[in-house]
Amino acid sequence: MKRVYAVDKYCIACRLCEVACLTEHSASKNMIVAMRHEHPKPKAMIRVQEAGPLSFALQCRHCSEPLCAYSCLTQALQLTPAGVVAHNSDYCIACYTCILACPHGAITRKTTAELKTVAKCDLCTHREIPACVEICPNEALVFGDQGEYEIEYGGTVG
């Protein structure tokens, strides 16, 4: 199954992946409107982590054995036959056990006055290539099967 993989050696923490994700998951699909005028403000389902010179984009890994889905009390998170860990906010009761169970820290709270749920990468299943991958200027995010991409510094992604 294809997934999004981060190549930390190429990431410059520009955060364009966060902007693309936020825009793609907004009601307007317009960056300015989404970031300035939409309420509730859409939330990026990917976030850039930084520690000194190291940076990389963190998003759901869509694990083949998803501890988040196994721990979900209401089955709001489920592994689809296509291998995507899908989230249904209609079933989410905001207990946040999935956040505790995720070994990668890829699930975050999404709380507004009207809604309490979680946010996680959905792989932009409605698109051919996820928005974060498409916008990344350095190819620090790649979309493919594990081991498919050779990187300049040796080894494979995944």
Domain boundaries, the chain: 1-59+126-146, 64-120
pLDDT in tens, 29-52: 999 999 999 988 888 999 999 998
* Residue 2 Cα distances to 22, 102, 155, angstroms: 21, 20, 18
pLDDT in tens, 47-73: 999 998 899 999 999 999 999 999 999
Beta bridge partners of 6: 141
**Mean pLDDT confidence for 127-139:** 96
- Could you tell me the pLDDT band of residue 147, with boundaries at 50, 70 and 90? low
- Check residue 40 and give its pLDDT: 81
Burial class (CB in 10 A: 0-12, 13-18, 19+), 114: exposed
Sign of CA dihedral 8, 10, 13, 17: negative
Do domains 1-59+126-146 and 64-120 share one topology? The answer is yes
Domain 64-120 fold is Alpha-Beta Plaits (3.30.70)
- Could you tell me the pLDDT band of residue 150, with boundaries at 50, 70 and 90? low
pTM of the model: 0.86
The one-letter amino acid at 59: Q
Domain 1-59+126-146, CATH class in plain words = alpha beta
- Could you tell me the pLDDT band of residue 154, with boundaries at 50, 70 and 90? very low
